[in-house]
Amino acid sequence: QQQVKQSPQSLIVQKGGIPIINCAYENTAFDYFPWYQQFPGKGPALLIAIRPDVSEKKEGRFTISFNKSAKQFSLHIMDSQPGDSATYFCAASRTGGGNKLTFGTGTQLKVEL
Amino acid sequence: DTGVSQNPRHKITKRGQNVTFRCDPISEHNRLYWYRQTLGQGPEFLTYFQNEAQLEKSRLLSDRFSAERPKGSFSTLEIQRTEQGDSAMYLCASSFTGQNNYGYTFGSGTRLTVV
């Protein structure tokens, strides 16, 4: 059972564009929603995270939008750069669940010059 | 040492052999997690420790898999009688509880290829 669905599977944008990656979850007990960035041959690195008590969080060029009623959240990358080309994973966890993360299937982003 | 260290980075083994991976977490982190990642997929939870206690194991962790964290420091993940389906990236992560910070730090993983 896939508890976190992520789309699109891949995305190509021009430099300066704003790629948007979407995730939907099923388990209403989830209360922590991070995004991870992964480069080839490396482990995932925490990018930004949000809790359901806010609808938006911004850190630098990265913004999470959160819609609790729809059980959806998304990542926006402002002014995207070629260095942002990587695979992005959304994830979710719940308090008391040992902080185990349930990951989406990933989005491969390519930012072209 | 500012990160999570995993060794070896790559391991090629023949089917049926046993393999062991090591993870050295960030020293002040009391939680340690193992995940498995196959090509084109997100990481999947295998097991986690709080200090030296193994608190949860996923159904993915068959009886051929065993993990330890002696003295609450480094951890090892052993796979006995490896199968081709065990080929994957095995990721270790650590975190600190006791404050409102759920952020993990992942290592670079051990890529296992079973031939």
3-class DSSP string for chain B: CCCCEEECCEEEECCCCCEEEEEECCCCCCEEEEEEECCCCCCEEEEEEECCEEEEECCCCCCCEEEECHHHCCEEEEECCCCHHHCEEEEEEEECCCCCCCCCEECCCEEEEEC
pLDDT < 50 stretches in chain A: none
| Beta carbons of B43 and A98 less than 8 Å apart | no
Given a contact cutoff of 8 angstroms between Cβ atoms, the answer to whether B87 and B19 are in contact is no
Render pLDDT for A7-28 as a digit per residue (tens, 0 to 9): 999 999 999 999 999 999 999 9
Measured CA to CA, the distance from residue B109 to residue B88 in angstroms comes to 10
**A 17-36 residues inside an 8 A Cβ radius of B:** 32, 34, 36
Measured CA to CA, the distance from residue B44 to residue B97 in angstroms comes to 21
pLDDT value of position B71 = 86
Which residues in chain A have their CB less than 8 angstroms from residue B31's CB?
98-99
| Beta carbons of B91 and A43 less than 8 Å apart | yes
The residue among A65, A72, A80 whose CA lies nearest residue A19 is A80
pLDDT value of position B46 = 96
| Beta carbons of A43 and B107 less than 8 Å apart | yes
Q: Is A48 on the interface with B (CB under 8 A)?
A: no
**pLDDT tens-place values along chain B, 115 residues long:** 579 999 999 999 999 999 999 999 999 899 999 999 999 899 999 999 999 999 999 988 889 999 999 988 999 999 999 999 999 999 999 998 765 556 789 999 999 999 9
